[in-house]
Structure 1
Amino acid sequence: MLEQRTELIDYPRGVGLDDESVRTLQTAGLWDAVRPYTVPHHVVRFVNGKGQVLATNDPRTDEFGHPRKHGFVQPLVDRELAAGLGRFETSELRFGHKVVGLDDGGDHVVATVELVDAAGAVTGTTTLTASYVVGAEGGSSFTRKWMGVGFEGKSPSTRWLVVDVDNDPIGTPSVYLGADPRRPYVSIGLPHGIRRWEFMLFDEEPTELVETAAFMHRLLAPHVPDPSALNVINQRVFTHHGRIAAGFRKGRVLIAGDAAHLMPVWLGQGWNSGIRDATNLAWKLTAVLRGECDDALLDTYTAERHKHASDMIDVNMAAGAIMKCGPVKGWLRDRAASALNLAPSVKSYFSELRFKPMPRYATGVVVDQATLEPGRSDVRFKDGGLHPFTDSAGAVSPVGLQFVQPRVNTAEHRDVLLDDVTGDWWTLAAWGNNPARLLGPAELELVRGLGISLVCFTPETQRPWAEKQYADSPVPVTVVGDVTGRLKNWFDTRACGVVVLRPDRFVAAACLAQQTPRALRAVLRSASYRSREGAPA
C-alpha cells in the first residue's frame, strides 16, 4: 500500500458508519479494535429554521448483525485499519510514496513512484511491479485520469465550512440536519466528546473571511453558549460533489472509493461506499490471484458497484436540495412534511432508513432464481417459474441481496454472529437439510477444492440431533442452531431452501433443495471459475 502523505490524517472527516461496513470490519477481524471509537444507533433529526423536527431517522433493525447507523471518529478508526495490516507478513504500508506513472504490461503493471518528504519535496523515484493496481487516492485520482474514463455528475458551487471541536459544548448524542433558510447547518455529536458543525457559506463570503475566528464565532453563536471557549481541532472549507466514473476498471488497473465516486455528505455514505467497493473487490482479486477464477471475474466489479454508487449519489444530492431550500420553498417543505408525518407509512419510510438504496446486484456473480441462468437475476419471478406452493412464500427473489446475520449456536460456539461460524469464503447453506447429501461426487469435489463451507441451518431444538446425523458426511457440515427464529423466518418468506453465499455475504443463488447441484455450477460459471485443467467449469 502506497500513501502519498507521510502520516495518517489526524483530523475528523467521515463521521457515519453503516452496519454493512461494520460487518466488513467484523470479517476483517478488526471490529473489536474499532468499536471503542464508535457510538451505535446514531439518531438523525431533520429540523427546520425554528428547530421543529420534520423527520427523524432512527432505524432499529439489525438484520446484518449490527445497529444500522454508528457515529465514529475516522482518524482513530483509520489508525486501527493501518495497524491491522501488521498481522500479515506479506503486507507493507509505505508512506511518502506518490504514484505518478502506470504501465499496464498485459500480465503485470509497473508503477512509477515519487518519494516525498514531510514538506512535500520529491527526494527520489522508484518503480514497483504488481499483478494489479487499485487506485484509491481520492477525488483527484491520478489512477482514474490515467484510465481516461469520464467523471460524470455535478459539482455544485455551494461551499460549506466544517468545524470540529473536542470539548462538545452541547453534549447530546444525536445528529441535527438544520434546514434553516437563513443558513443551513449540520450539528453532529460524535464519540470522545467531539462535535462537528457544518455551515453553508454564501457567495459573498470569501474564504479569507471564513477562516477568521470572529466569523466562526458568529456562525456558532446561535448554537453554543460560548463559542470562544471551544477547542477547535479542525476548520476547513469544502464543496459537495456528486460524480461517478464511467468505469471502475481498465485492464489490470482499478479504482475504488472517492477515486471512483464522490457524493455529498448528507447521508454519511462516502466512507461507507468506499468500504463497499473494497468488500466487493477484495474477494474477487483473491479468487483471481489464487488461480481459482478467470480475470473476467473482475469485470463484475463495475457491473455490481456502479449502479448502487450512482443511486446513492442521487439520494444524497436530493437530500442536499431539500436542505438548501430558500424561505418560500422552505415554508412549503415544512407544511408538506407536517402533513406527511401524519401517515405512519411515511414516517416509517424516514425513521427506518428505507429511502436509502440497499445494494442489490442484478448482474455479475448471481444466478436467476427462476431459470438458474448465470450472470443475471430478476427481482421477481416472471409468470411463476417455480412450484406454485413455493412461489406463494414470496415472489421476490433474495438473489443479489445481502444475507441476514442473526446470533446463532453451534457445537463449539454459543450466541455468536453467523459470519463468525460460516467463515470468510463461499458458503452453501440449506435449511433443515444436510447440504452434502444434495450434491453429487463431482460437486463435492468442487466444494473441497474451493474451500466452500457447507452449513445446515436448523431450529436450535434439532441441532444436537443434526450434529449426530451429519457427523459422517463426505464433506464436513457445520450445523447452525437458529436460536432467534430469524433464519427460519428468512426461509419461510422466500421461495427457496438452499442458498449459495458469496464471500461478501451476498446471495449468489437461491434454489430448491433438488436444484442445488445445478445452482452451484451456475454460480461458478458466473464467477468465471476455472477447473484444475484450466478450462471453464
Structure 2
Amino acid sequence: MAHVADVLISGAGPTGLVHALWLTRQGVSVRVIDKLDKPVKASRAMAVQARTLELYRQIGLADAVAATGHPIPTMNLWVKGQRRARLPFAEAGADVTPYPFILSYPQDEHERLLIEKLQSMGVEVERQTELVSFEAKPDHVLSRLKKADGPEEVFKSAYLCACDGAKSTIRHQLGTDFEGGTYKQVFYVADVKLSGLEPAGEAHIALDNADFVAVLSYGRSGLSRLIGVVSDADPDTLGFEDVSHRAIDGLGVKIEQVNWFSTYRVHHRVTDNFRHGRVFLLGDAAHIHSPVGGQGMNTGIADAINLAWKLTAVLKGQADDALLETYNQERRAFANTLVETTDRVFTFVTAESNFADFVRTRIAPVVAGLAYLVEGVREMMFRIVSQTTLNYQESALSAGTAGKIEGGDRLPWVEVGGVDNFGPLSHIEWQAHVYGTASPGLKAWGQRRGIPVHEFEWHDKHGQAGLARDAVYLLRPDTYVALAEPHASVEALDQYLQSRALVTKYFVQ
C-alpha cells in the first residue's frame, strides 16, 4: 500500500478524463481507473457547448476539438413536416464567444482525444480496474481495487473522486440520496446514414404530436445521429423498426443504413451533497437529467474543472479545506436548476393530450419563430444552450459589481483587432483584468500578491459587453469573476481576501 497519487479518479468518461487533465496540468498526481476494458463506442453524448470549448483553451484542446468535430451553426424546428423556425446560432453568438455554434462530436471520439492528451502528460488510464469499496479516514482514503487479471489492491490517496456514472458504486456506498424520478418514455439513439435532409450540416428537431426526433449531423458522408423517444416500450426488445417514424418522415429523409441502435431509460435526479469529506461526486454520479439541450456531458466537465482548481489549492496548502465546500454549493445549485429546466422542456415536448398537441405544434413554433426575430432574444437563447449564462453569483467566493458584471459571472468575451481578452485565461491561475488603465498601486499590489494584472486598452466593445472602464476584475483559476471592484481599490481587494479565509493562503503575502 503506497501513497502514489493525491487523487484517485474512478471512471474514465469525459468527466473523469477532464478532471485528471486539469489536476495534472496544475501539478497534482492522479490515478485514473475504469472497470471497462475499452471506451464505449456506441456513445450517447454528441453536443459540445461553447462554454466547454472556452475552458478547453486552458489546456490547449479547444482548437483540436473544434477542428475534429462538426460545428453546427443553425437549429431548425419542424412541425408535422413543415419547417417552422430557423435559429442561427452563428449570428446569435457572434459577440458572445469565439465558438458561436454547437459542436457535434461523438463521445467516443471526444474521449479518445482526451486520453491522448492525458497520455502526453504522462498519465495512463488503467482499464479493467474496478473500485470495490473504500474507507474514508480523516486525512486520506483507502480504496480497495480489483483488476480483472490480478489480486485486490488497497490504494491510499488524499481524495477520491467518483466519476463512475449514474450507477456509481461510490455513491451507493456513501448511501447518499439520489432524489428524482424516471421518465416513462424510452429514449433511443441511432447512428444512421441518411439522405434528403436539408440543410444537411445543420441540426433539426421535428415534432409530431407526442413524437419527436432530433437530428445532429456528423458533417461527413450523410452520417447523422438520431435521438428520439418511445412511450411505454421495453428497451430490451425495442429495435429501430419499432420506433415511430412520423417525425422522421416529416423531415423528408430516407434512412439508408442503421449503423447502431441503442435504447435507455432516462432519470432526473440530483444527489443531496456533492461532497462527503474526502470523497466527491461528479457528473452523472451526482446528477442525471433529460438529454434535452445537450447539457449533460458539458455539465459533468464543468464539475470536473470547478473541483480541480480547488483540490489543487488545498493539496498545495494554498487554501483552507473550507474552499472545497464551495464545490458542493456552486455545482449542486446549477444541477438542480438544470434538472428542473430540462424536465419542464421534456415534459412539454412529450406530453400526451389534445391541448398539449395544440400548444406544441401550433402555438410554440409561432412564438419561437417570432421571438427569434428579436436580437436580444436570439442571443439569450444561445447563451442558455451554450452554458455561457452559468454563474456563481450566490457563491461564498463571489462579491462586488462593476458595470453590469457581478462577482460569480463568467467573464465576458471581447475581441478587438483580432485579439481577445481570453488569451491570459489559458493560465490556470488567479489573475486580475483591467479594461482601461491600471494604476501603479494596483500593479504593485499584483506583484506583491503574486497575481498577474492584465491591462487592456479601453474600447467601446468592452462597455457594450458590460465591463466598466478602469475597474478591476479578480478572476478565479476557472475564469469566473471572483470580485468585481468598480474603483480598482487595492483596499477592497485586500478586504476581499482577508474576509475569505477560504482563499487567503493562496496569495503571496
Task: Give the TM-score normalised by the residue count of structure 1.
Answer: 0.78
Q: Is 1:241–1:264's contact at 8 Å kept on the other side of the alignment?
A: yes
Name structure 1 gaps, 5 residues minimum: 118-122, 371-389, 410-414, 460-481
Letter in 2 for 1:99: L
Change (3 A) 1:180 1:419: same
- Tell me the residue number matched to 2:136: 104
2:211 to 183, 197, 203: 183
Residue 135 of structure 1, CA deviation: 0.5
Aligned identity (percent) is 21
Q: Distance in 2 between matches of 1:300 and 1:107?
A: 19
Q: How does 1:509-524 map to 2 (within 5 A)?
A: 509-523=483-497
Q: Distance in 2 between matches of 1:346 and 1:523?
A: 45
Change (3 A) 1:164 1:514: closer
The CA deviation string for residues 85-128 of structure 1, in whole angstroms up to 9 with x for no partner, is 12323x332111111111111111111112136xxxxx432121
1:335 to 349, 362, 366: 362
The CA deviation string for residues 159-213 of structure 1, in whole angstroms up to 9 with x for no partner, is 122111256663712222222116322222223343111232132x4345523x6
The CA deviation string for residues 336-371 of structure 1, in whole angstroms up to 9 with x for no partner, is 23553575478657643155572221333534326x
Q: Is 1:159–1:201's contact at 8 Å kept on the other side of the alignment?
A: yes
Residue 68 of structure 1, CA deviation: 4.4
Q: How does 1:183-332 map to 2 (within 5 A)?
A: 183-193=211-221, 194-203=223-232, 205-207=233-235, 209-211=237-239, 214-215=241-242, 226-227=254-255, 229-230=256-257, 232-326=258-352, 327-332=354-359
- Tell me the residue number matched to 1:14: 45
Residue 488 of structure 1, CA deviation: 4.5
- Tell me the residue number matched to 1:364: 395
- Tell me the residue number matched to 1:383: none
Q: Is 1:55–1:350's contact at 8 Å kept on the other side of the alignment?
A: no
Question: In structure 2, the residue corresponding to 1:210 is in which secondary structure?
Answer: coil
Task: Give the TM-score normalised by the residue count of structure 2.
Answer: 0.82
- Tell me the residue number matched to 2:113: 80
Q: What is the aligned length?
A: 467
Question: In structure 2, the residue corresponding to 1:240 is in which secondary structure?
Answer: strand
- Tell me the residue number matched to 1:486: 461
Q: Distance in 1 between matches of 2:488 and 2:210?
A: 64
- Tell me the residue number matched to 2:167: 140
Q: Distance in 2 between matches of 1:218 and 1:64?
A: 37
Q: Is 2:191–2:224's contact at 8 Å kept on the other side of the alignment?
A: yes
Residue 408 of structure 1, CA deviation: 5.3
The CA deviation string for residues 458-504 of structure 1, in whole angstroms up to 9 with x for no partner, is 14xxxxxxxxxxxxxxxxxxxxxx6xx4334446x548711101111
- Tell me the residue number matched to 1:478: none
Alignment RMSD (CA, Å): 3.1
The CA deviation string for residues 227-262 of structure 1, in whole angstroms up to 9 with x for no partner, is 4x31x3321111222111111001111011111110
Q: Is 1:257–1:273's contact at 8 Å kept on the other side of the alignment?
A: yes
Q: Distance in 1 between matches of 2:507 and 2:376?
A: 52
Letter in 1 for 2:176: V
Q: Is 2:393–2:406's contact at 8 Å kept on the other side of the alignment?
A: no
- Tell me the residue number matched to 1:379: none
- Tell me the residue number matched to 2:482: 508
Structure number with greater CO (CA < 8 Å, separation at least 6) is: 2
Name structure 2 gaps, 5 residues minimum: 1-31
Letter in 2 for 1:454: V
Q: Distance in 2 between matches of 1:487 and 1:46?
A: 34
Change (3 A) 1:201 1:288: same
- Tell me the residue number matched to 1:427: 431
Q: Distance in 1 between matches of 2:64 and 2:365?
A: 42
Q: Is 2:131–2:146's contact at 8 Å kept on the other side of the alignment?
A: yes
Q: Is 1:152–1:246's contact at 8 Å kept on the other side of the alignment?
A: yes
- Tell me the residue number matched to 1:455: 454
Of 56-65 and 278-287, the range deviating more from structure 2: 56-65
Q: Distance in 1 between matches of 2:442 and 2:507?
A: 25
Residue 222 of structure 1, CA deviation: 6.1
Q: Distance in 2 between matches of 1:454 and 1:142?
A: 44
Question: In structure 2, the residue corresponding to 1:132 is in which secondary structure?
Answer: strand
Q: Is 2:290–2:339's contact at 8 Å kept on the other side of the alignment?
A: yes
The CA deviation string for residues 50-92 of structure 1, in whole angstroms up to 9 with x for no partner, is 4342573633334233214222222111111111112323x33
Q: Is 2:189–2:263's contact at 8 Å kept on the other side of the alignment?
A: yes
Q: Distance in 2 between matches of 1:514 and 1:222?
A: 57
Question: In structure 1, the residue corresponding to 2:93 is in which secondary structure?
Answer: coil
Q: Distance in 1 between matches of 2:53 and 2:151?
A: 39
Q: Which has the larger radius of gyration?
A: 1
